[in-house]
């Protein structure tokens, strides 16, 4: 693979990662959860995630958002290998169902 193709693959991955984080943030907002706290539960002690902060600043109100199903966010997190975050999202989803 040449340099141009490699750069394109990396850029596409970064764009997809931003989209995944934006959807995670919107799921949190739609479920009245703090994205920072959920992320911190999954990755304790990790420094602030700039993409997460940017996604939070771009999120829209729950009332204006499309639904983000629990299944969708879990699948998306799984695709990107965010198993720790998917585990916490799954726990939060189960807690929501019990309430």
**pLDDT given for residue 75 in this prediction:** 95
Record the pTM.
Answer: 0.88
Cα–Cα distance, 71 to 44 (Å, whole number): 24
* Joined tokens for residue 94: 């189960």
Q: Give the ranges where the chain is alpha helix by DSSP (H).
A: 3-30, 35-42, 50-58, 70-79, 83-98
pLDDT of residue 1: 61
Q: What's the rounded Cα separation, in Å, for the pair 28 and 93?
A: 10
Q: Are 49 and 66 in contact (CB under 8 A)?
A: no
- Kindly tell me if the per-residue pLDDT of 52 is higher than 80: yes
The mean per-residue pLDDT over the stretch 12-37 comes to: 93
Q: Which of 65, 69, 66, 61 is nearest to 96 (CA)?
A: 69
pLDDT digits (tens, 9 = 90+) for 28-46: 999 999 999 999 999 999 9
């Amino acid at each position: 693979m040449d340099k141009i193709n490699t750069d394109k693959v990396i850029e596409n991955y970064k764009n997809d990662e931003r989209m995944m984080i934006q959807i995670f943030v919107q799921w949190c907002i739609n479920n009245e959860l703090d994205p920072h706290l959920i992320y911190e539960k999954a990755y304790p002690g990790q420094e602030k995630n700039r993409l997460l902060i940017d996604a939070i600043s771009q999120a829209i109100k729950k009332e204006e958002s499309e639904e983000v199903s629990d299944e969708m966010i879990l699948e998306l997190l799984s695709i990107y290998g965010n198993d720790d975050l998917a585990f916490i999202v799954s726990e939060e989803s189960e807690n929501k169902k019990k309430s």
